[in-house]
Structure 1
Amino acid sequence: MPKIVAIIPARGGSKRVPGKNIMDFCGKPMIAWTIEAAKESQLFDAIVVSTDDPEIASVAVAHGAIVPALREEAADDFSPVSEATIHTLDQLATQGLNFDVVVQLFAVCPLRNAIDIQNAYQFFVAQKTKFLISCFKYVWMNPWWAVQLDEQHKPKRIFEDTFKRSQDLPELYCPTGAVWIADIPSLKSSHTFYGEDHVFWEMEWKRALDIDSYEDVALGKALFNL
């Protein structure tokens, strides 16, 4: 059986929602929901939080994750999260901890649960792919109808000739950070989860929410309370 590691990227210094990775979300630190979902999935040989922030590290360890070392690389506003995950894999390797598959779980997707993680991994194995990215189908909004507004509030269509009935338009899907999976040698070679022949795995939109703003926090709490 392959050795599988969960890596939860959780950089400090969020600008839009300061401290969002450990802010209270429905009675627990935000990151705790992801750590607990990973534990409940029973898939992992190790559950690792990748962070540059000592406070995040302390909360993560208190909830059952390991933090091999504070991240010194790929901790700025511009580095892709895949580089942070690769850096953490390299940190683990220096400690004699080597794995075959990595499952990257964003700390800001607190509604994703253990069954989602299990189903995504089963799909990854069944597809015999090297890369999987979770996604959800647009439901209550329709991107085909999107417009940009100029200074006079006049609309400019993003897509031409798509002002049709919603049932006449193709379905559209959006990636979410809930569950990303990769074969580790392939990830280190490509430096991205969007590697060659990557596949999307669809999950329920109510659990796919990425929290990046205070509006997202409010929506997440509303969905949680449902």
Structure 2
Amino acid sequence: MGVTAFIPAKMTSRRLPKKNMCDLCGQPLLYYSVKLAQLCGAVDRVVVCSESEEVCRYAENLGAASIPRPEELSQDHVPNTSVLKWWYDLEVEKPKIVALLQPTHPLRHPDDLDCAARKMLQESPAVTDTCFAVVREDILLGVIRDDRFVPEFPLPRDKSREPARYRNTGSFYLLRPERTFLTGKPYGSRFGAHILQRPEFEVDIDEASDLEMARCLLQAHKKHFSYFDCA
């Protein structure tokens, strides 16, 4: 099997209770990640993993597979890579690549995931362990020393001399299991990058204000999200 999309969807969020099933323009937040994976031609299978029967039933109604998640793997301190390893050990047909899609990034474009996944499938396994979804970051960074701000580059800035810098968004992670979460190195040591085509729509939902931002973007840019039935 080539690519399996794995969507962790526990219901133990504290800052935004039951976050993964919160309403976003008429659909639960989880819907957007499942739909995205189903629209991605490179993805062979979509798996939703949750300790919640409600979430598992909803995922199955969307046409995804559901995996009941043990309570001990649903605690705040448990990283997704530990859940991935537990799930992967149960799989009969092991995928070459796992696309980790956290439901908190609902406004992705399927072409981004498809392009990154196909490129990674075509590469030799020796090239990339993990592919990150990134956006260009053009901000002035620095450190605080003795209550003074020390910028990373001299001021005034000459951006033509600065290297282009990028930020990992967490929108998706493409992982080779044998090089990452199966080895004790969550992301391996060789990183690829896919630059998201629409960085202005990148929202990571952690609090109610983030959910409202996503709702505003969906409603204001409906033509950009026509692949979602609710847009």
TM over 0.5: yes
Are the structure 2 counterparts of residues 176 and 160 from structure 1 closer, same or farther at C-alpha, using a change threshold of 3 Å? closer
Deviates more, 1:203-212 or 1:185-194: 185-194
User: Which ranges in structure 1 are unaligned for 5 or more consecutive residues?
Assistant: 149-153
Match of 2:166 in 1: 173
Q: Kindly tell me: are residues 51 and 192 of structure 1, through their superposed partners in 2, closer, same or farther at Cα, counting changes over 3 Å?
A: farther
SS of the residue 2:5 aligns to: strand
Structure 1 residues 195-210: aligned runs within 5 Å: 195-203=188-196, 204-210=198-204
Secondary structure of the residue aligned to 2:67 is coil
State the alpha-carbon separation in 1 of the partners of residues 32 and 191 from structure 2.
Answer: 27
Distance, in Å, in 1 between the alignment partners of 2:114 and 2:47 is 17
Identity among equivalent positions (%) equals 22
TM-score (norm 2): 0.80
CA deviation string 1:108-157 (max 9, x = no partner): 11101221110111332455422111111226xx2x24677xxxxx9653
Is residue 2:124 matched to residue 1:124? no
Aligned to 1:82: 81
Q: C-alpha distance in 1, partners of 2:121/2:56?
A: 31
Offset at residue 73 of structure 1 (A): 4.1
- Map 1:84-123 onto structure 2 (within 5 A): 84-91=83-90, 93=91, 96-123=92-119
Contact map agreement 2:117 2:174 (CA 8 A) in 1: yes
Alpha-carbon separation, structure 2, partners of 1:162 and 1:74: 47
Change (3 A) 1:147 1:113: same
Deviation at 1:102, TM superposition (A): 0.9
**CA shift at 1:212, angstroms?**
1.1
Q: Distance in 2 between matches of 1:16 and 1:131?
A: 29
**Greater mean alpha carbon deviation, residues 164-173 or residues 123-132:** 164-173
Equivalent residue number for residue 135 of structure 1: 134
Cα distance change of structure 1 residues 181 and 24 upon mapping to structure 2, 3 Å threshold = same
Match for residue 223 of structure 1? 217
CA distance in 2, matches of 1:49, 1:130: 23
Q: How many equivalent pairs are there?
A: 214
SS in 2 for 1:90: helix
Is residue 2:36 matched to residue 1:37?
A: yes
Secondary structure of 1:117's match? helix
Instruction: Please name the residue that 2:22 is paired with.
Output: 23
For 1:184, the equivalent position in structure 2 comes to 177
Unaligned runs of 5+ in 2: 222-231
CA RMSD of aligned residues (A): 2.5
Give per-residue Cα distances to partners, 1:65-98, cap 9 Å, x unaligned. 111323344321112211112222223x2xx343
Mapped partners of 2:15, 2:155: distance in 1: 33
Residue 81 to residue 4, structure 1, CA distance change in 2 (3 Å): same
